[in-house]
Structure 1
Amino acid sequence: MTSAKARTALKKYFGYDEFRPLQQSIIEHVYAGHDGIVLMPTGGGKSMCFQIPAVTMTGTAVVVSPLISLMKDQVDGLKAAGIRAAYLNSSQRGAESHGVEQAYENGELHLLYVSPEKLLSSGFFTFLKRRRVCLFAIDEAHCISAWGHDFRPEYTMLRQLKSAFPEVPVLALTATADRLTRKDMAEQLGIPDAKQFIASFNRPNLSLEVRPGQKRREQIVRFIRERPNQAGIVYCLSRKQTEQLAEKLREAGYNAEAYHAGLNADRRAEVQADFINDKTLIVCATIAFGMGIDKSNVRWVIHYTMPKNLENYYQEIGRAGRDGTKADTLLFYSYNDYTTLKDMITGGGNAEIQLAKLERMKEYAESLACRRRILLNYFSEDHGDDCGNCDVCANPPERFDGTVIAQKALSAVARLKQSVAIGMAIDVLRGSSRQDVLKQGFDQVKTYGAGRDMSTYDWNQYFNQLISLGYLYVAHEDYNKLRLAPAARRVLFEGETVELVKFQTIRDRKKQEEGKTAKRAAAPRTRGSLFDALRELRRTLAREAAIPPYLIFSDKTLEEMAAAEPTTPRALSRISGVGEVKLARFGDHFLQAIKQYAGTSDAAAEEPTPRVRGGASTDPTPDHLVTYAAYRKGSPVREIARQQGISPGLAYRHLAQAYREGHELDIADLLPEPAIDWIDEAVRSLPSGAGRKDVLAYIAENQREGVVRSHHLELAEAFRIRHPLPTAP
């Protein structure tokens, strides 16, 4: 078996030209008949590591998955790509499962998905031996380890596989496993010497943000308002939270539903199906939701409360942006959330391990360092640079002498006889006239009103810091009352200074959010009406095919279509994610939509007879030089684009590339007359490292919206490479 065959299958079935990091190495490892442990982040391409061998090796690959909904989802996606796949689990009736078994025995399946219970049922190994099994893939393999965050005792029986099928390679795959879990996985599966393939856990397309847990519902509504028509998940700790939040969002005009174990099976299936099929955009759910979903166009994930560990957190935020395009994550955190989770874990199974993991989660939420570095380091990935795409990087903390603030807080706790929780202590400091404050006589203590110059938000931040610094602690066993730690005495009586971190005030945060909103409004939309038209077409085709929309094409593929505007089948086939089967099944529909958007007739978009990009041509000339040659002969850019079956924007980018390589071109003829001056002005005015979107936004803000486009920037950048601006003496 060769990697060339794997590459051919990658393009044929999945529409990709290149493997992601490690995928090819893993596939070749399987071809050699070796066992392996694969650790890849959610959306990193784990499934491809066993799906490509399945369609290129003799026999059937058996995939063990604990999630019935994931089986159906993956099988539907594989069938849409032209791959023969089926599943066996408890959801099927006799006739249906018999049909799948018959297909397996007849050698008609590339892949067979089974549940652990089905695999280990009486006589199933004998059934499997009637045909050749080329590979066992154990998905969600962390479930086999007691060190894992989702341990399932029945998974430990999977060690029988290696003794029953000693010659068949076993591939254990997971998205979340620390060092101890990976080692235990290998031992439990009977493959202790299996090679470990650990992909980068860095998901740079995911923004990471943590906010204090005040007025969460109001903040969530604002968050969603800034992301219209985007699918997202809000993870909640309790059933009640999911119901209340979903109701709140519906009142605000959003299509939201609750999902939790208290709903009957039919209702849960309905909510999940509506979300997968884009009928419901927002789901407020307990942590079980999403494990069986491979939906690629989730654009944001919010945690209403803090998860129990970083593995769960990483897995759940990983359900956003699986297509590789930008997605946002938001975690709300409060110390009360932490104490609630601690109480839930204490006394349960694996309590010591789970409490240690909870502490790591808390440290992440309270961190003043780059959040991505913390996550990557947790999964044993050395990442020395700050990411620039988390809230800490965007707003580095400023430290100051917070001794007076600390003295007020500690004094209040002392004068209240260490008998109240954080909320009441803050009310007293702010001089609240609430009935329960007055009834208990707290308005008579000396510190009553001593902190009315700061908001509740700020006081929450500073109390949490004082707890983290060891001046206070929370008595979980006594209704979470605040207690003075020994270190508090040094601050109150011995003159010790306290350094705190200056957090944004509510006014600062509001101002910053208003600035972000204004910038979004000013910036040109990256997803224009063509993307929206293609997304609507995808939804219609999905309904007709009875499959989820994202199984037709991902958002990322639609964005590439909208950018390149292909008008021929050959040009469309070069879009990432457009494989042979999907091109034949759906290509004409999308080409027609693109032509209608561009106002191009069918006759004008027919396959041209001259040399065309790609295809069967033997001309070795690179595409951008073909465009350049045509332009030098005097052909207009739009005519060149039509002839080559590409968008005008891509044709301009070809010319920019040719100019960068030293070919002669009069750039000024390709740009609006003052465009280079405007672009130069924007570059000089913006901070170092600003991207193209920032430049376009700056130009738009100066009443030049729509004049300068992204391809103009590429032309201008090419010009400045060869003609740099003079530097100041």
Structure 2
Amino acid sequence: MDDSVFEDDDWADEALLMECEKAEEALLLKAVSQTPSSPQAEHLKVLRQNFGHSRFKDLQWQIIRSVLEEAQDQCVVMATGYGKSLCYQFPPVFLNKTALVISPLIALMEDQVMALEVANIPATYLGGSQTNKSDIYDGIKANQYRVVYLTPEFVDKSGDMIENLFSVQSLCLIAIDEAHCVSQWGHDFRSSYRHLYRLRDKFPTTPILALTATATDQVIQDMEKSLKLKRCQVVKTSFDRPNLYIEIRPKTSPWNDLNIISSYDEATGTRSIKGSTIIYCPTRKEVDNITDVLAKQGLNVRSYHAGLSLKKRETSHKEFIRDQCDAIVCSVAFGMGINKPDVRRVIHYGAPRDMESYYQEMGRAGRDGQPASVMVFYGTSDFVTHRHLLLDIKNEVWLQNRMDLVHQMEVFLGKKKSCRRADILAHFGQTLDKVRSTKCCDNCTQSLLSTPRDQACANQEDELVDFSEDARLILESVRQCGGVYGLGIPCAVLKGVSDKTVKQYLTQLPIFGKGKSKAKTFWMALGRSLTAQGYIGQKAVVGGQFKVSTCHITGKGSKFLRDSTSQFKQIPTKELQTPDMKQKQPDFKNAYPSQVSSEDWRSKSNESSSKIEDIHMKLARRRSTLANKLGLAPYMVLPEEILQQLSLIRPSSVANMERLGIPRAKVEKFGQDFVDEITSWCTLKALPMDNEVNVINIDESSLNETQQTSYTLFQELGSLEAVAAQRGLKPSTIANHLSEAIKARLPVNIDKLGLDPRMRAKIEQIIFDPPIASNILRLGPIKEECDKRDLTVGWDEIKITVALIMTENEVRDNIVQWSDEKLKKLTKPIENLAPNTLHGAVSKNGEGPRPRELPAWMGRSGSADKSSLSKKLKKNSIFR
């Protein structure tokens, strides 16, 4: 059951919660009778053997179940790294049918096909200049492939071929990846995507998944309409990427800005970049320039843009994917086609054009969940370029929409106080808890460096500044200049510039020199803001060989001038900031991404970091050797997280290696190579093997960022009240977060939660006895029964007790399958109960036996096989 919707209201009023649960009871009972509450054994078997996971993430299973059982169309907005590809890869493997996947780039399809084939999942693609297309066609008709990738252009030009290739019986779903490209309101509109609605006409009963990592509500609506999705279910994860550290800096010069990403080795006299890096540039010229600058410093970099030959682009792409270069400098077209989970850094050398593009491009970093950083270096000229490129748009509504997006980005980059992560989430209609972290963004770091922690609130906003009088001056200057000049001339007139750029008659205008107290850059910046917000209009004209624009005052601007009481307020961009607004740039050398898992993985062992690092390097080299031999990217052999596990656990056999959650096909292909490497090194260095290999392997924690933050602070501060005060939330909200941590099997000191062991025993007894009869689907009936027995108990205590029950006992179809030990305790007098000594908990004095635990870096994982139906239904509740 998920009470997060009531989080900041003390789980809401108890009566409201009771009413909500009663009103939903009929729906819940109906759903329970029709829908399995969790994946069945056959689902989990396929998941583990073919994909290397022991459990689905909640939304993944919701999407997959809907495909398998309901054949329902779905619009899936899923943050990069959450695992959207599994949503369309699992059903065809499980059903032994075919999934047709629309993907935007050949390079991306090639990488995905290669990764699937390594896992022994038959896959292919169509859309390039393949010479064996007839063989592929035959294979599709014979149902030989589980996943078939097509470009939208191939679909658009194929006519009836698609219908002839794929039979309704063999096709289990159609997935449209990067589906935001279908929308003219999206940041990456492609006309070929607009025609994909024909797939619905050809396959009316086949479920369609439209998937994207970036889509506003407006874009989602356009996607549904354009693709003719029927009874569409919209599924959205949080847009938050807590493992990314966000930083914005002003441009100076390329090497001065970018030298921070490299390190110099005095022993070898060479420079290198640690961690795969993508550097985005706004123009081809800038790509070439930055590549030259970095190459001259001895860095191993490649370039990628549309002006290069196809062979050159393919070579750059493959060398970057295969870790044969440190960084790739590219145009934004490269980002959508990159399928590399271990990118550690994404840099925009030039302002992104809009928030959607920025989120999509920064999302290339840290897709493996490990810490990564994203940076932007920008200057005023970047926005001039972006706006200039929009002048070809003829549709006024669309043009204004694009201008608004550019303006939003300019304001975002110029902010000095607000949390950048919170701003990004707000753009997509989501919120972030009120907490600062030096591992979040540059503004949060600056706030914590200059403000006491308890006063550094993440909802602190940059203040709106009144520019009304200045706005009237520049609007009047535009009006008096007659609408025949670009913005620069009205600004020069207002500034009082007397040079050859300003014609003589303009110096006689009444407005001339009225704004001389401020810099021309100020007036230009304000003029751009007024243009973006519709007070000033632009018109493209041809001037010699170049395209230029003139500016004029719009109806909105004229109305503003006529009304002396009208106001123009906005958050100041960099050029609009007065000296007192500007702050010193903080030192970010020690700032890293925030995440429960971001602690150095080597520190989770009692052994020295150097020993662990040595074997990690040996395994990484073996991985590279295998990858190069087979023409694969290293991550396709084994991802970085698995290498870390191997370095710490060091399995002595292939069988033990498979227990780490590696797909069976990869264990069969590569397992012995890694086991031989481990055995050889451990024998040489006298290192123990099979460390903790007998513990249950569980996947990454299901905690969201706000729950992770509460958990981390509780471990540090040790009380609900202290964490609540630190975060500006209520203690009951923190208790709710910690109950989720308990379910995820993270170690929590239960005594510090304030749950008395006798109270816990009484609640357990009530849950065990009729009428509850061990059913923990809903908390409302449990609370009612407690009240009937005159047991004064709060929702916090019930929630925590249920979480403990779920970790100590098997739960099947929402019914607790009590352990023999627990059944004995339930029949004992409550007075004889001992203090808490449960799994994952310690007593007050820290003494007493404790079961063997997972390595802490694996302790991020979520609990196995728990009932999640109530949580799923709550997320789709009519009472949200």
TM-score (norm: length of structure 2): 0.58
Distance of aligned partners of 1:476 and 1:34 in 2 relative to their CA distance in 1, 3 Å threshold: same
Equivalent residue in structure 2 for 1:143, among 163, 177, 181? 181
2:43–2:94: 8 Å Cα contact kept in structure 1?
Answer: yes
Equivalent residue in structure 2 for 1:36, among 70, 73, 77? 73
Q: Which residue of 2 aligns with 1:580?
A: 664
Distance of aligned partners of 1:265 and 1:611 in 2 relative to their CA distance in 1, 3 Å threshold: closer
Q: Which residue of 2 aligns with 1:600?
A: 683
1:346–1:355: 8 Å Cα contact kept in structure 2?
Answer: no
Give deviations 1:474-533, integer Å, cap 9, x for gaps: 9998989999999xx9xxxxxx9x999898999x999966x544789xx99767634333
**Is there any run of 5+ residues in structure 1 with no aligned partner, and where?**
430-434, 438-444, 490-495, 616-621, 626-654, 668-708, 715-729
Task: Name the stretch that deviates more: 75-84 or 655-664.
Answer: 655-664
**2:225 match: secondary structure:** helix
Q: Which residue of 2 aligns with 1:698?
A: none
1:397–1:502: 8 Å Cα contact kept in structure 2?
Answer: no
Q: Which residue of 2 aligns with 1:170?
A: 208
Q: Which residue of 1 aligns with 2:244?
A: 206
**1:47 match: secondary structure:** helix
Q: Which residue of 1 aligns with 2:170?
A: 132
Equivalent residue in structure 1 for 2:429, among 360, 363, 380? 380
Q: Which residue of 1 aligns with 2:842?
A: 660
Distance of aligned partners of 1:247 and 1:88 in 2 relative to their CA distance in 1, 3 Å threshold: same
Equivalent residue in structure 2 for 1:111, among 147, 152, 155? 147
Distance of aligned partners of 1:461 and 1:229 in 2 relative to their CA distance in 1, 3 Å threshold: farther
Q: Which residue of 2 aligns with 1:551?
A: 636
Equivalences for residues 636-715 of structure 1 within 5 A? 660=842
Distance of aligned partners of 1:192 and 1:371 in 2 relative to their CA distance in 1, 3 Å threshold: farther
Q: How far did residue 84 of structure 1 move?
A: 1.4
Q: Which residue of 2 aligns with 1:694?
A: none
State the superposition RMSD in angstroms.
5.2
Equivalent residue in structure 2 for 1:336, among 381, 386, 401? 381
Name the CA distance, whole Å, in 1 between partners of 2:539 and 2:640: 46
**1:32 match: secondary structure:** helix
Equivalences for residues 599-618 of structure 1 within 5 A? 599-600=682-683, 612-614=694-696
2:442–2:588: 8 Å Cα contact kept in structure 1?
Answer: no
Q: Which residue of 1 aligns with 2:405?
A: 360
Give deviations 1:296-327, integer Å, cap 9, x for gaps: 11111111222222221111111111111111
Equivalent residue in structure 2 for 1:24, among 45, 49, 61? 61
1:371–1:392: 8 Å Cα contact kept in structure 2?
Answer: yes
Distance of aligned partners of 1:225 and 1:524 in 2 relative to their CA distance in 1, 3 Å threshold: farther
Q: How far did residue 378 of structure 1 move?
A: 2.0
Equivalences for residues 479-628 of structure 1 within 5 A? 516-517=588-589, 529-530=613-614, 531-575=616-660, 578-597=662-681, 599-600=682-683, 612-614=694-696
Name the CA distance, whole Å, in 2 between partners of 1:611 and 1:173: 37
Equivalences for residues 255-266 of structure 1 within 5 A? 255-266=300-311
1:298–1:319: 8 Å Cα contact kept in structure 2?
Answer: yes
Q: Which residue of 2 aligns with 1:696?
A: none
Name the CA distance, whole Å, in 2 between partners of 1:100 and 1:611: 43
Q: Which residue of 2 aligns with 1:719?
A: none
Q: Which residue of 2 aligns with 1:78?
A: 116
Q: Which residue of 1 aligns with 2:47?
A: 10
Equivalent residue in structure 2 for 1:308, among 353, 357, 360? 353
- Which protein, 1 or 2, shows the higher relative CO under an 8 Å CA cutoff with sep ≥ 6? 2
Verify: 1:391 aligned to 2:442, yes or no: yes
**1:319 match: secondary structure:** coil
Name the CA distance, whole Å, in 1 between partners of 2:186 and 2:465: 42
1:257–1:283: 8 Å Cα contact kept in structure 2?
Answer: yes
Number of aligned positions between the proteins:
611
Q: How far did residue 266 of structure 1 move?
A: 0.8
Kindly provide the amino acid, as one letter, of the partner of residue 277 in structure 2.
G
Equivalent residue in structure 2 for 1:346, among 391, 396, 399? 391
Q: How far did residue 358 of structure 1 move?
A: 4.1
1:474–1:480: 8 Å Cα contact kept in structure 2?
Answer: no
Kindly provide the amino acid, as one letter, of the partner of residue 194 in structure 1.
C
Name the CA distance, whole Å, in 2 between partners of 1:342 and 1:258: 25
Q: Which residue of 1 aligns with 2:98?
A: 60
**2:140 match: secondary structure:** helix
Give deviations 1:97-135, integer Å, cap 9, x for gaps: 222222223332211222234443333312212861111
Q: How far did residue 399 of structure 1 move?
A: 8.1
Equivalent residue in structure 2 for 1:297, among 326, 342, 354? 342
Distance of aligned partners of 1:554 and 1:354 in 2 relative to their CA distance in 1, 3 Å threshold: farther
Q: How far did residue 225 of structure 1 move?
A: 2.1
Name the CA distance, whole Å, in 1 between partners of 2:393 and 2:296: 38
1:186–1:193: 8 Å Cα contact kept in structure 2?
Answer: no
Distance of aligned partners of 1:601 and 1:569 in 2 relative to their CA distance in 1, 3 Å threshold: farther
2:351–2:378: 8 Å Cα contact kept in structure 1?
Answer: yes
Distance of aligned partners of 1:606 and 1:271 in 2 relative to their CA distance in 1, 3 Å threshold: closer
**2:239 match: secondary structure:** coil
Name the CA distance, whole Å, in 1 between partners of 2:540 and 2:199: 47
Give deviations 1:576-635, integer Å, cap 9, x for gaps: 5x22221222223333444455x3369986879x994459xxxxxx9999xxxxxxxxxx
Q: Which residue of 2 aligns with 1:218?
A: 255
Distance of aligned partners of 1:358 and 1:526 in 2 relative to their CA distance in 1, 3 Å threshold: farther
1:35–1:195: 8 Å Cα contact kept in structure 2?
Answer: yes
Name the CA distance, whole Å, in 2 between partners of 1:624 and 1:328: 26
Distance of aligned partners of 1:565 and 1:659 in 2 relative to their CA distance in 1, 3 Å threshold: farther
The percentage of counterpart residues that share the same residue type is 28
Give deviations 1:406-454, integer Å, cap 9, x for gaps: 9xx99xx99xx9x99999x99xx9xxxxx999xxxxxxx999x999xxx
Kindly provide the amino acid, as one letter, of the partner of residue 600 in structure 1.
T
Q: How far did residue 92 of structure 1 move?
A: 0.7
Equivalent residue in structure 1 for 2:287, among 224, 242, 245? 242
Q: How far did residue 534 of structure 1 move?
A: 2.9
Name the CA distance, whole Å, in 1 between partners of 2:337 and 2:114: 13
Name the CA distance, whole Å, in 2 between partners of 1:538 and 1:108: 30
2:273–2:299: 8 Å Cα contact kept in structure 1?
Answer: no
2:746–2:840: 8 Å Cα contact kept in structure 1?
Answer: yes
Equivalent residue in structure 1 for 2:371, among 326, 335, 340? 326
Name the CA distance, whole Å, in 2 between partners of 1:98 and 1:499: 60
Verify: 1:288 aligned to 2:333, yes or no: yes
**1:543 match: secondary structure:** helix
Name the CA distance, whole Å, in 1 between partners of 2:683 and 2:500: 72
Give deviations 1:39-85, integer Å, cap 9, x for gaps: 11222211100111111014211212232111111110011112111
1:234–1:283: 8 Å Cα contact kept in structure 2?
Answer: yes
Kindly provide the amino acid, as one letter, of the partner of residue 317 in structure 2.
Q
Name the CA distance, whole Å, in 2 between partners of 1:390 and 1:571: 40
Name the CA distance, whole Å, in 1 between partners of 2:188 and 2:573: 38
Kindly provide the amino acid, as one letter, of the partner of residue 125 in structure 1.
E
Kindly provide the amino acid, as one letter, of the partner of residue 103 in structure 1.
G
Kindly provide the amino acid, as one letter, of the partner of residue 69 in structure 1.
A
Name the CA distance, whole Å, in 1 between partners of 2:424 and 2:64: 27
1:309–1:358: 8 Å Cα contact kept in structure 2?
Answer: no
Distance of aligned partners of 1:364 and 1:20 in 2 relative to their CA distance in 1, 3 Å threshold: farther
